[in-house]
Amino acid sequence: MPAWIPGSYLMREFGRQIETLSAHDARQRPVPLGKLDRNTWQAAPCKGPLTLTAVIYCYDLSVRGAHLDDTHGFFNGTSVFLRAHGHEHQPCLLELVPPPAGSTRTDEPWRVHTSLPEATGDPEAAPRHGFGLYRAPDYDALLDHPIEMGTPQTITFEAHGAQHEMVFSGRIPGLDLARVADDVRRICEAQIALFEPESLRAPFLDSADRYVFMTFVTADGYGGLEHRASTALLASRGDLPAVGQGGMTDGYRTFLGLVSHEYFHTWNVKRIKPAAFVPYDLTREGHTRLLWVFEGFTSYYDDLMLLRSGVIERDDYLKLLGRTVAQVHRGPGRHKQSVADSSYDAWTRYYRQDENSPNALVSYYTKGSLVALGLDLTIRQATDNQRSLDDVMRLLWDRYGRDFYRSAAPRGVDEDAMAALIAEATGVDASSFLAQYAEGCADVPLDRLLAQAGYQLEWQAAGNLPVSVNWRTRTQGQDLLVATVYESGNAHRAGVSAGDVLVALDGLRVGPGNLDALLQRYRPGEAVPLHVFRGDVLRRFDLVFDEPVAHDCRIHPRAATSPTTEA
């Protein structure tokens, strides 16, 4: 059984959800199974075909797992399909059987939604959206087409002639499907045009005749996982527009940004891949220093594609960009870890965060997207706007991606290849840029780069408080807890720790509802006692208030200045 699922870099040991596993031979005689390690079984020698029967617990409502109840079923192949060792390259037939009558919540028959091709030509082949036989060319493909079964709301559209299907499961009254499909179509077309400006050919046609967005909607869900011809998404009900509800909300923009991100992965990571993922070894961690390219560049283009497709306006885009800049700059960890190191250690650090992570880590998503922006601006300024990061993406696509699933010997991007590829695509030597900002821990000089492009960064304090405490708090029941203490800030200097429960500030009770109101009454430099419970021990610290810190970043066009280029 796979130990991890591509796209989510954490060991998950999917075999642990197998409740029972048994084997029998062609004459229905039991075949003993032994265990070789946590994910591997070995059957005793037997003649003829071997049949394995597994009962698997499926109640993980995430984009990475498998979930089955009386309203729907969703699974990733990594949760349910054992790999027959040595037979990875053989075609696989999958038979899907409908749930027994009376076992589902409504009488409406379930349908099947997946990008996995039906086993066309076989008498038992599944009809479109039906139960029956499906076919995968090999085990890797079998794992890469998740399947949704149930009675979801659906809509289809064509983007540059290619079929796309949107599937929404969960309860979403009044969902404006037509509006969502129209916006998503524009995003898909903008991305197809970026990679294939001439042929306008959608990337997934090498593996499937359609792309499927499968979204499960809950009260407060968020997440996505990319596949070669589909994506599994988790979204919040409130983020999706209802019929008659106009205007762009923050939530809907967030949903479209997620859709754009996962769709961009169809090129960048599902076909253009780091060499470390060619092929995926799902028994152990696949280390690469390049996730800042595969996740960071994708994070840069996800919002940029909303802008280019006309789904959002420039001001909205600048607001999103400002938020990302602010987020990256909030964490002192960015001076300790590079995005290349963060990529390599994703398995044990980025995916296993704790209260100290902002002090110790940098995100290869957010800082990676700023590296992409910095590179894009550097290339544009060095070439008088004749070249851009788009040219780098097209070269990557041409060299590694377009024929990935058609090639007998597909290649991935080598760990140290990026500088040469950028130079080849644009003529710009980016090696010192990459050494400083991707391999090194320096901040991307966006002040200078944006100024040269005619934009200005402006930093402001968040809220209207006259003083600041350099921590992050969170509410737990009636209590206000310190969630993170930022390194070298006033809370850190006073001795406060993550997990401390706030009791009193300056002798006054402090809780979830009144911290900001209390902070309004002080001036920078004033010292007050702070009482906290650490465990069940009352502790007192002397806290000295700081000046308000400018953590919010806004980006504006500079009205009086025209764009200039770098000498």
Q: Which is nearer to Zn ion, 306 or 494 (CB)?
A: 306
Q: How far apart are CA 320 and CA 326, in angstroms?
A: 10
CA atoms within 13 A on the CB side of 252: 19
Which two three-digit tokens encode residue 399?
Answer: 């060299």
Pick 303 or 500: Cβ nearer Zn ion: 303
Residue entry with tokens 């001076």: 335
**112/259 with CB nearer Zn ion:** 259
Q: What is the dihedral of CA 132, 65, 401, 308, to 10 degrees?
A: 110
Q: How far is the CB of 299 from Zn ion (least distance, A)?
A: 7
Ramachandran category for residue 174: left, alpha or beta (phi over 0 → left; psi -120 to 50 → alpha): left
Minimum Å gap between C-beta 300 and Zn ion is 11
Interface map 181-220 toward Zn ion (x if CB under 5 A): ----------------------------------------
Element (H, E) at 379: helix 366-382
Shortest Å distance, C-beta 295 to Zn ion: 5
Residue (77 or 257) nearer to Zn ion, CB = 257
Contact between 428 and 391 under an 8 Å Cβ cutoff? The reply is no
Q: How far is the CB of 229 from Zn ion (least distance, A)?
A: 16
Least distance in angstroms from the C-beta of 482 to Zn ion:
31
How far, in Å, CA of 317 to CA of 306, rounded? 8
Token couple for 383: 């070439």
Query: Which residues have CB under 8 Å from 246's CB, separation 6+?
Result: none
104 versus 215: smaller Cβ distance to Zn ion: 215
Chain residues 129-158 in contact with Zn ion, contact rule CB under 5 A? none
Judged by beta carbon, residue 189 or residue 295, the one nearer Zn ion is 295
If binding means CB under 5 A, how many residues of this protein chain bind Zn ion? Answer: 1
Give the nearer residue to Zn ion in terms of CB position, either 135 or 270: 270
Indicate the residue among 339 and 519 with the shorter CB distance to Zn ion.
339
Residue nearest Zn ion (C-beta atom): 295
For residue 414, the minimal CB distance to Zn ion (Å) is: 21
Which residue lies nearer to Zn ion by CB, 134 or 263? 263
3-state helix, strand, coil in the chain (%, to 5): 30, 25, 45
Q: Which two tokens stand for residue 79?
A: 């949760």
Closest to Zn ion by CB, 6 vs 132, is 6
Give me the helix-helix angle, 418-426 and 366-382, nearest 10°: 30
In whole angstroms, give the CA distance from residue 360 to residue 335: 8
Kind and range of the H or E run holding 434: helix 431-437
User: Which x/- pattern over 397-416 shows residues binding Zn ion (rule: CB under 5 A)?
Assistant: --------------------
Shortest spacing between CB 297 and Zn ion, in angstroms: 10
Q: How far is the CB of 390 from Zn ion (least distance, A)?
A: 19
Nearest approach, Cβ of 239 to Zn ion (angstroms)? 18
Residue list 433-452, contact with Zn ion (CB under 5 A): none
- Residue 194: in which H helix or E strand, if any? helix 177-195
Per DSSP, the residues of 9-78 read -S---GGGGEEEEEEE-TTS-B--EEEEETTEEEEPP-SS--EEEEEE--B--STTSEEE-SSEEEE-HH
Site residues for Zn ion, 271-310, by CB under 5 A, read: 295
Residue 265 C-beta: closest distance to Zn ion, Å: 6
Long-range contact set of residues 479-487: C-beta below 8 Å, sequence gap at least 24: 479/511, 479/512, 480/510, 480/511, 480/512, 480/515, 482/532, 483/355, 484/355, 484/356, 484/358, 484/359, 486/330, 486/332, 486/358, 486/359, 487/332, 487/359
Interface with Zn ion (CB under 5 A): 295
